[in-house]
Structure formats: C-alpha cells, structure tokens
Homo-oligomer: A and B are copies of this chain.
Amino acid sequence: MDQPVSPLAPTTVIEPAPVPGVRLATRACGVRYQGRTDVLLALFDPGTTVAGVLTQSVTRSAPVEWCARGLADGRARALVVNAGNANTFTGLRGTSSVENIATAAAATAGCAPGEVFVSSTGTIGEFLPDARITLPLPEMAAEARADGWVAAARAIMTTDTYPKTATAETHIGGVPVRLSGIAKGSGMIAPDMATMLAYVATDAALPADVLRALLGPAADASFNSITVDGDTSTSDTLLLFATGQAGHAPVTGPDDPALAAFRTALNGLLLDLAHQVVRDGEGASRFVELRVTGAESDRAARRIGLAIGNSPLVKTAIAGADANWGRIVMAVGKAGERADRDRLAIRIGGVPVCADGLAVPGYDEAPVAAHMKGRDILIEVDVGIGQGSATVWTCDLTHGYIDINADYRS
C-alpha cells in the first residue's frame, strides 16, 4: 500500500472545477484502512440524470447489482463509495449492506433509495462494516461542498499511487458546460472494465437515454480499450451524472448537432482518465500505445490490440526495452481474428520493423532500441486484411507487478 508514485504519473494533479448541482464530502471512516479518507459522498441536486457502464463479470458485486437497478430509472441524487472492502462475494449480507447504505444516504439526501448509487472497492469476500459508513453520512452531507474533486479521488484509491482527475469546459448550443471526473484503478484492469471506478459529472441538461447513447461509445474507446493485466474486476463502475443546471436549450436527442462539442469533450475526458489508470498500472514503467489497422473490423482490431496488450511475453519484452517484434507476431496470431501473416507490418516508434511478413530489409534496430528505452512506447501493427482499426493502451509487466500482487490481499 505504500508503493512509490508511478514513474508514469502526470506531473501535476488537476483540481477539477466545481460542477453546479454537485457537492462532495470525504471522510476517514476506518472501513479497512487507517489514517486516510476512505468514503466519498457526492450529492446531486434534484433533476440529475445518470447513465452508467458496469462490469460484465458473472460474479459481480452486490453494489454493482444495486447500481444496475438504479440505472434503469436514470435518476440520481447521491453516490456513496468506499475503499478497502469490495463487498463482493458476501451473499445476502452484502446485499443488506448496500441497502443499508442506500437507505441511510437517501434519508440524508431526501430522496428515494433507488436514487442513491453505491460502489465498494477493495478486498473481496469480507463482510462490509456498513455502519462505519452509514453513521457519519449526515455529518458528511452537512460538510459537502462544490469543490474537493481531488480529495474525492483520493478517498476511493486502493493500490493507486496517485489520485486521478480530469476536467473540461465545453458548450452546448453556445452555452458553457462543465465536465469534471475522477477515477481509480491500477490492477485488475481490463475491458469490462476491471477494478476501475470512474465518476463524471456535468451540469449539462441531458435525459438519461441521451446520456446512455453518449456514454457507451465513449467508454468503448477509453476504459474498454485499456488493459493492465487482463483481469476483470467484480466491481467496475463508470457513472455519468448530469445535473441540468447549465441553462442551455434542450437537446432533441443523442444525434442533436448541438452535442458535437460535448461529445468530443466527454470522449477526451474519459480517455484522459483511462490513460491515468494505465499510467498507474501496478509496477508499470512504460506506457504503451498500440495502434492496430488493417483488421476485418474495428472490433477485430480492438481484440488484436488487446491480445498484444495482454500478452505477458510482449509486456515483459517491453519491460526489458527489447524490440522483440516476434512476440507481437505471436500475439496477433493468437487473437482469434483474421490476419494475413504475409502482409503483416509492424512499426515501433514510427520505424518500420517488418513488412510483408518479413523483417524490413536492412532493418536497423538502433533507433527502435532507443525508442524502447523511453517511457512512452508506440507500436503500430497492420494486419493486412481490411479497414478496421483501433487503439489500445497498456503498460509493461515488471518485477513491480509481482512485488505488489504477491503480497497484497485484494
């Protein structure tokens, strides 16, 4: 838990701007950790809508099941997140704990329990001491204020080595709109989506169905395109709240041209947060961008990218600054998608390494080896079949990952 800050961390932590209609509070409740904040309460003004993307795990946690029901209604007034205990694999008692938290938060916020969203992250299989969370909620609500996003990001950290925040100002129909968000996650990170929690709020006025239509593709191109270890958490939750206080004209639907800038800002903000998660990958020493082109479809390209990004042999080669493109060929081969071995082309750091199924004639490894020694690695792979493309981000696999996971009880 006292890991040094990742060498890939952003040099500064951004303090996101307040979002009208959102108030935040954090507290050291001693759920598991001592001497640090571990519970976040976010309160949303009446009229707030919500959309979300949840883990596809079949052993998903009680809080995730609770959120799934709330998302069907699409209305939100409060969010409660604790770190240190995932309330996963805790049976009926786990479900009761979620209900206790939602009921208590609802009483505090003056809303229905179904308008309260609950997340828990940390150790699996231990009962959640929910009274440690519910009892302080009224005091936390009284203290809640519009700023404090970095504090919120800190309160939900587990093996994270730095808080992850992002903020953006955009507009809808010429009216300024704010987006601010936080994320956590550094291991058990893979699509669908891995112990990854992310919460984004905006003051845009968007019905839940519009939020859903915007969030799905944005999540696919960000949180569902990153991987640290290929492991999928039982708890991943991405929620997007819209308080509706920006004062812009109503939108007609998800395809309203007035949403173009907002869509771009949302995509960028989620990608920013997702990259921060990869940059905090357990033990990571290099950040890797994998661009796959020439696949049968965009979906096939993403699967190929993830096969490369999840390959232990590719990831250890990158850790060793080894431009071992043979392992990339291997990973393409196992992805389960079409690829033409004899048209396959790979570039590393922009330098052609192989093409047409062969090492590039006169290939000079020196500039590639120099690139591999850097912090940011770019690998481009064209599989020679079609027009599908995707970009995936990952990190290397180092001794640090073993150090962290051979003794952390998560």
Instruction: Provide the bound-state CA to CA distance between A313 and B409, in Å.
Output: 10
Write the nearest CB–CB distance from A157 to chain B, whole angstroms.
18
CB of A387 within 8 Å of the partner chain: no
> Which single residue of chain B is at the shortest CB-CB distance from A396?
B406
CB of A125 within 8 Å of the partner chain: yes
Contact A338 B125 (CB under 8 A): no
CB of A329 within 8 Å of the partner chain: yes
CB of A232 within 8 Å of the partner chain: yes
> Which single residue of chain B is at the shortest CB-CB distance from A338?
B58
CB of A158 within 8 Å of the partner chain: no
CB of A180 within 8 Å of the partner chain: no
Docked complex: A348-372 residues within 8 A CB-CB of B: 354, 356-359
Contact B406 A316 (CB under 8 A): yes
Checking B316, B331, B334, B409 against A401 with a beta-carbon cut-off of 8 angstroms, the contacting residue is: B316
Write the nearest CB–CB distance from A383 to chain B, whole angstroms.
9
Contact B57 A88 (CB under 8 A): no
Contact A91 B334 (CB under 8 A): no
Contact A344 B89 (CB under 8 A): yes
Checking B57, B88, B333, B337 against A334 with a beta-carbon cut-off of 8 angstroms, the contacting residue is: B57
Contact A326 B125 (CB under 8 A): yes
Checking B56, B234, B329, B354 against A234 with a beta-carbon cut-off of 8 angstroms, the contacting residue is: B329
> Which single residue of chain B is at the shortest CB-CB distance from A319?
B406
CB of A270 within 8 Å of the partner chain: no
Contact A231 B311 (CB under 8 A): yes
Residues on the B chain within 8 Å of A80, using CB: none
Residues on the B chain within 8 Å of A60, using CB: 333, 341
Checking B90, B192, B319, B334 against A190 with a beta-carbon cut-off of 8 angstroms, the contacting residue is: B334
Closest 4 A-B residue pairs measured CB to CB?
A124-B326, A320-B406, A59-B333, A57-B333
Query: Interface on A for B, CB 8 Å cutoff?
Result: 55-60, 86, 88-91, 93, 123-126, 187-188, 190, 192, 229-234, 310-313, 316-317, 319-320, 322, 324-327, 329-335, 337-339, 341-342, 344, 354, 356-359, 397-399, 401-402, 405-407, 409-410
| 6 more A-B residue pairs beyond the given contacts A89-B341, A324-B410, with a C-beta to C-beta distance below 8 A | A57-B334, A88-B326, A123-B326, A230-B311, A312-B401, A316-B402
